[in-house]
Amino acid sequence: MKISELLKQNKLSLSFEVFPPKLESAFDSVKTATEEIAKLKPSFMSVTYGAGGGTSKYTLEIAKNIKEMYEVPTLAHLTCVSSTRKTVSEKIEAIKEAGITNIMALRGDIPSDMLDADRSGWDYRYAIDLVKELKESDPDLCIGGACYPEVHPESATQKEDIIHLKEKVDAGCDFLTTQMFFDNNLLYNFLYKIREAGITVPVIPGIMPITNANQVERAIKLSGSFMPQRFKSIVDKFGSDPAAMKQAGIAYATDQIIDLYANGITNVHVYSMNKPDVAMKIQSNLSDILGKEIPTWQ
Ligand code: FAD
C-alpha cells in the first residue's frame, strides 16, 4: 500500500524504522529483530540504506521479508550521492521487482574526504535528482523525502533550506519525514514555515527514543538536534542507570508522540533502531490512543 494513501486514513498511527546489518554474520539477528517489530503491525516500516550503522546491501532483502511475511507496507530508502546512474537504476528496478512501491529518495551524506570536491561532474548532486529519476521511471511510485526542522547542516539559513525543500517536493515527493527532534515546538514552527512556503504534502515527524546515555552524543552529532533542558536533566539523573534511562527515554518519546497527536499529527515515525522491546513499549504506552479516528477538521 502506498504511504500517501495510508496517511489519508484519519487514524492515529505509528510507523517504525529499522536498519540492515553491517555484516553478513549479523543478518539473522537483525532479520529476527525486524520481524518482531513487524509483528506489532505498524502502519508501515522503513528500512534505511547505509545509515544507522547498517549497509545498503541488505535493505531490499529486509524490506521484502517484512512485506511478504507480515504484510506490513514497507518504505525502502535509497541514496544517490556516491552512486552512478547505472547502479541507481539497477537498484530502482530491483525495488520495483520486489513489489515495493514506497521509496525514500535521499541524497546521502557526502563522504568527508569529498566535501570540498568539485561536484559539477557528479551523476547526483542532490536528492531532487533522484526524485526526478524515480518519477520518470514510474509516476505511480510513492516517493518520500527527508526534511529538517532544525535546518540541514549544509544550509546557511532555514529560508535557503526550505526553498530547496520546496523544489524537491515539486519534483515529486508525496510526503516528507523529518529528522529527529526533541522539542516539539521546533516541529510546529517548521510546519508553519513550510506551509507558508507552499509545501502542502504530509509531513511525518520522526521521533528517536533515547534509551541509553551513549546514544545522546551520537544523536546530537548525527542530527545537530537541540536538547531541551528537560531532556538533559533526565540524562544527568538516570544516564548511569541503564534500566532507569531506558524507561525515562521511552517515557520522553511517548510524551512527545502524545503531544504530536494532540496537535493534529496522525502518523509518527519512530526511529526504533532494531529494538523490538522499545517499539513494543511505546506501542503499549499508546494502546488506548492508537487507531482513534480524528475529527476531519484537523
Ligand atoms: P537534499 O535534499 O539533497 O539536501 C541536502 C542539502 O542540500 C540541504 O542543505 C539542502 O537545502 C541542500 N540543497 C538541496 N538542493 C540544493 C540546490 N539545488 N542547491 C544548493 N543546495 C541544495 N542517509 C543514508 O545514508 N541512508 C538512509 O537511509 C537515510 N535515511 C534518512 C531518513 C531521514 C528521514 C532523514 C531526515 C535523513 C536520512 N539520511 C539517510 C541522512 C541523509 O542522507 C542526510 O541528511 C543527507 O546529508 C541529506 O540528504 P537529503 O536527501 O535530505 O538531501
**78 CB within 6 A, ligand 1:** no
Mean pLDDT (the chain, rounded):
94
Highest mean pLDDT pick, 106-115, 117-126, 262-271: 262-271
Phi, psi of 177 (to 5 degrees): -120, 140
**63 CB within 6 A, ligand 1:** no
Q: Is it the case that residue 298 has pLDDT exceeding 80?
A: no
Whole-prediction pTM: 0.96
**Rg for the chain (alpha carbons), in Å?**
18
Read off the pLDDT of each residue in 139-165 and give the average, rounded to a whole number. Answer: 97
Question: Are residues 3 and 75 in contact, defined by beta-carbon separation less than 8 angstroms?
Answer: yes
Active-site hit among 5, 17, 160, 167: 17
User: What is the pLDDT confidence band of residue 121, given thresholds at 50, 70 and 90?
Assistant: confident
The pLDDT value recorded for residue 117 is: 86
The pLDDT value recorded for residue 297 is: 59
Opening angle at CA 149, ends 192 and 152, nearest 5? 135
Rounded Cα distance between 95 and 89, Å, is: 10
Opening angle at CA 206, ends 199 and 174, nearest 5? 35
Core vs surface per residue 82-104: b (16+ CB within 10 A) or e: bbeeeebeebbeebbebebbbbb
Distance between Cα 292 and ligand 1 center (Å): 33
**Which of 133-137, 174-178, 221-225 has the lowest average pLDDT?**
221-225
H/E element holding 189?
helix 184-196
Distance between Cα 127 and ligand 1 center (Å): 6
User: What is the pLDDT confidence band of residue 208, given thresholds at 50, 70 and 90?
Assistant: very high
Residue nearest ligand 1's atom 52 by CA: 146
Is 154 one of the catalytic residues?
Answer: no
Dihedral angle at the C-alpha atoms of 53, 123, 61, 34, nearest 10 degrees? 40
The pLDDT value recorded for residue 216 is: 86
Which residues pair with residue 102 across a beta bridge? 75, 142
Which residues pair with residue 293 across a beta bridge? 11
Rounded Cα distance between 183 and 191, Å, is: 13
